[in-house]
A and B are shown apart, each in its own frame.
Chain A
Amino acid sequence: MGRYVARRLLQMIPVFLGTTFLIFFMVYSLPGDPVLGLFGDKGVDPATLAAKRHELGLDLPIWEQYWNYMTNIILHFDFGNQIRNGRPVTEVLGDAFPITLQLAAMAFVFELVFGIGLGVIAGLKAGRLADNAILIFTLLIISIPVFVLGYIIKMVFAFQLEWIEPNVSNDQLFSEMLAPAIVLGGLSLAYVARLTRTSMAENLRADYMRTAVAKGLPKSRVIGVHLLRNSMIPVVTFLGTDIGALMGGAVVTEGIFNVKGIGGVIYESISRREGTTIVGLVTILVIVYLVTSLLVDLLYAVLDPRIRYA
């Protein structure tokens, strides 16, 4: 187990460096000059421009820029400053991240509870009416793009029925965040339900199920412990990769409901060529992704004792 974790952590290093360099390279090869953008349309003399670029380290070759950037992050936890206003990126992200985290957490709980719930119902009633209804429901949810779902919910519940506020206020009240969280988690909910259903329907025929029933265990224990626990592996795998997707999906959802989270920062940074902000953000997302995928692999052994790590 310890060896396995150590090996996995070592394997993470090249992936981490590769991903961050890839996004670094992509962002820095964008056309347009963030420094020139500082001066507006008045223009600037080349000497000042060069001095500013030198000050920001933007005149160095990309390898060197990347090296400086990464050493700052690793040694000083310094993600650099925004070019536009000189604010530290950690501060910008620190303001926006908790809001997105709250939204993502609500979406995650929503998809976990309802996704697994629907999946269990469909799996136990495989082939029956409830199963088909849930199948059609999940197919529809998967087919409706997030922004369409967002506007439909806004149109119906905010403008027609007036049950909810169309926009989230600056206080991010729990009740206001409910609608965006449902929109954000909706797609994943459908996937969770499908995966749970498939896995359950398959495991229903497993030998250990027959044994559990034959032993005369109560139904709740057979389903809750024997069936559910063994059926969770594909679901857990999906949920692990989904955390990063929820953060990315926030760009759209936050825009629709006017949530002041990471989504707005991402969008603005990309259109303003704020390389440091984007790279900083993606670096954090990559770390989150790598850690969750390790945790997911370790969870396998908990869920299915047949899986052992050397």
Chain B
Amino acid sequence: MPDVTKTAPAVEETAATPSAPDTATAAKQDKARSLWGDAWADLRRNPYFLVSSVLIVLLLLISAWPTLFTSASPTTGDLVKHYVGKPELGNIGSEGWLGYDIQGRSVYARLIHGTRASIAVGILVTLFVTVVGGIMGMLAGYFGGITDAILSRITDIFFGIPFLLGAMVVLQAFTERTTMVVVFALAFLGWTQITRVMRGAVITVKQADYVHAAKALGAGTVRILFRHILPNAVAPVIVVATIALGGYISAEATLSYLGLGFAAPTVSWGVDISAGVAAIRTSPHILLWPSIMLSLTVLAFIMLGEAVRNALDPKLR
């Protein structure tokens, strides 16, 4: 039973809505808090969570303030440096630790300045698909019947087109590929996964007693959806979205590598990897460093998602 005197938020909750649906609301709040509280206690001790969150915080810092990490320009090159600055053992510690690319630009500076493109695409695509997919899945799962049939078929239609292929076609439609264009191309076919997860979670949650109680006590559909269903169905969506974020970063790099995502002069890891392929035999470091950064970033988000999943669903262990 919810103990309303236990913590401040619960008391506020009671004070704000002193009506009958209260019991249900408070019970749900308490359950939600203990679920997330348990998860948090679990996460704090999980080494995967600690490593990945440190990495992600660092990546966010780099993408917000790249000039804190390097004073070199990512776009001005000195052609001579490409030859003298190769990162061979003797050169480590000298100017340009990671060497210079074909045009003599500092690989390190390009790594730092390229972070923003990847992180921005990952976060924006994830936000977009979570909102669109979440709403679609919630409506399909909650209303069922004809709404579910129609929304699920629409989801199937978009799901049927191979993700990368569809994104390639969408990107061809734009001559200037800004961040928003790349985000749109990835989100266009990406939302279906979230819809399916959300729909499944909502179908499970809507049978819960507190939802029936809220309904019996006359709560409106919108209130039930956002106060009762959403907070209890959102956990698997968060897990899938976090893991997918890494996937979107990887997809953006793949498209840029194919020459369909970002293009020079935009500084991004995908662009650099694409350029590095040409010099793979003579200067593999040009390809290697952005590849390592990219893989590390994807790894960080996937690890975070895994850790959150384990914390929320202890029976998986």
Return A79 CB to nearest CB of chain B, in Å. Answer: 16
Return A309 CB to nearest CB of chain B, in Å. Answer: 18
Q: Which of B157, B172, B316 contacts A18 (CB 8 A)?
A: B157
A147 CA to B250 CA in the complex, in Å?
10
B173 touches A248 (CB 8 A): no
B172 touches A271 (CB 8 A): yes
B window 131-173: CB within 8 A of A: 153-154, 156-158, 160-166, 168-170, 172-173
Q: Which of B156, B166, B291 contacts A26 (CB 8 A)?
A: B166
A202 touches B316 (CB 8 A): yes
A11 CA to B149 CA in the complex, in Å?
10
A18 touches B173 (CB 8 A): no
B20 contacts A by Cβ under 8 Å: no
Q: Which of A140, A145, A154 contacts B280 (CB 8 A)?
A: A154
A87 CA to B5 CA in the complex, in Å?
78
B211 contacts A by Cβ under 8 Å: no
B window 269-296: CB within 8 A of A: 273, 277, 280-281, 284, 287, 291, 294-296
Return A97 CB to nearest CB of chain B, in Å. Answer: 15
Return B316 CB to nearest CB of chain A, in Å. Answer: 6
Given A139-B299, A155-B284, A247-B162, are A147 and B254 also a contact pair (CB < 8 Å)? Answer: yes
Given A270-B168, A285-B162, are A15 and B156 also a contact pair (CB < 8 Å)? Answer: yes
Return B191 CB to nearest CB of chain A, in Å. Answer: 14
B258 touches A139 (CB 8 A): no
The residue among A145, A154, A267, A271 with the most chain B CB atoms within 10 A of its own CB is A145
Tell me if A's interface is mostly helix, strand, loop or mixed: helix
A144: nearest residue on chain B (CB-CB)? B295
A244 CA to B189 CA in the complex, in Å?
15
A286 contacts B by Cβ under 8 Å: yes
Q: Which of A140, A144, A151, A249 contacts B287 (CB 8 A)?
A: A151
A window 16-66: CB within 8 A of B: 16, 18-19, 22-23, 26-27, 29-31
Q: Which of B160, B162, B250 contacts A15 (CB 8 A)?
A: B160
Given A18-B153, A143-B298, A245-B162, are A26 and B169 also a contact pair (CB < 8 Å)? Answer: yes
Please indicate the chain B residues that have their CB under 8 angstroms from the CB of A148 in the complex: 273, 291, 294-295
Q: Which of B172, B287, B296 contacts A270 (CB 8 A)?
A: B172
Q: Which of B172, B306, B315 contacts A30 (CB 8 A)?
A: B172
B156 touches A143 (CB 8 A): no
B257: nearest residue on chain A (CB-CB)? A147
A278 contacts B by Cβ under 8 Å: yes
Given A139-B302, A143-B302, are A251 and B164 also a contact pair (CB < 8 Å)? Answer: yes
Q: Which of A22, A30, A251, A271 contacts B157 (CB 8 A)?
A: A22
A184 contacts B by Cβ under 8 Å: no
Given A126-B317, A152-B291, are A282 and B299 also a contact pair (CB < 8 Å)? Answer: no
Given A139-B302, A143-B246, are A248 and B162 also a contact pair (CB < 8 Å)? Answer: yes
A290 contacts B by Cβ under 8 Å: yes
A261 CA to B228 CA in the complex, in Å?
51
Return B147 CB to nearest CB of chain A, in Å. Answer: 16
A252 contacts B by Cβ under 8 Å: yes
B161 touches A252 (CB 8 A): no
B161 touches A19 (CB 8 A): yes
A285 CA to B154 CA in the complex, in Å?
18
A145 touches B162 (CB 8 A): no
A271 CA to B255 CA in the complex, in Å?
13
21 A–B contacts from the bound complex (CB under 8 Å): A15-B157, A19-B157, A23-B161, A26-B169, A26-B173, A27-B169, A142-B246, A143-B302, A144-B295, A145-B298, A147-B254, A147-B257, A151-B287, A155-B280, A202-B315, A245-B163, A251-B165, A252-B257, A273-B172, A278-B165, A282-B161
Q: A145-B291, A245-B162 are in contact. List 20 more A-B contacts (CB 8 A).
A: A14-B153, A15-B157, A23-B166, A26-B166, A30-B169, A127-B317, A139-B299, A139-B302, A143-B295, A144-B295, A145-B294, A151-B277, A154-B280, A155-B284, A159-B281, A248-B162, A251-B164, A251-B165, A252-B254, A270-B172
Nearest 6 A/B pairs, CB to CB: A248-B162, A143-B299, A18-B157, A19-B160, A148-B291, A143-B298
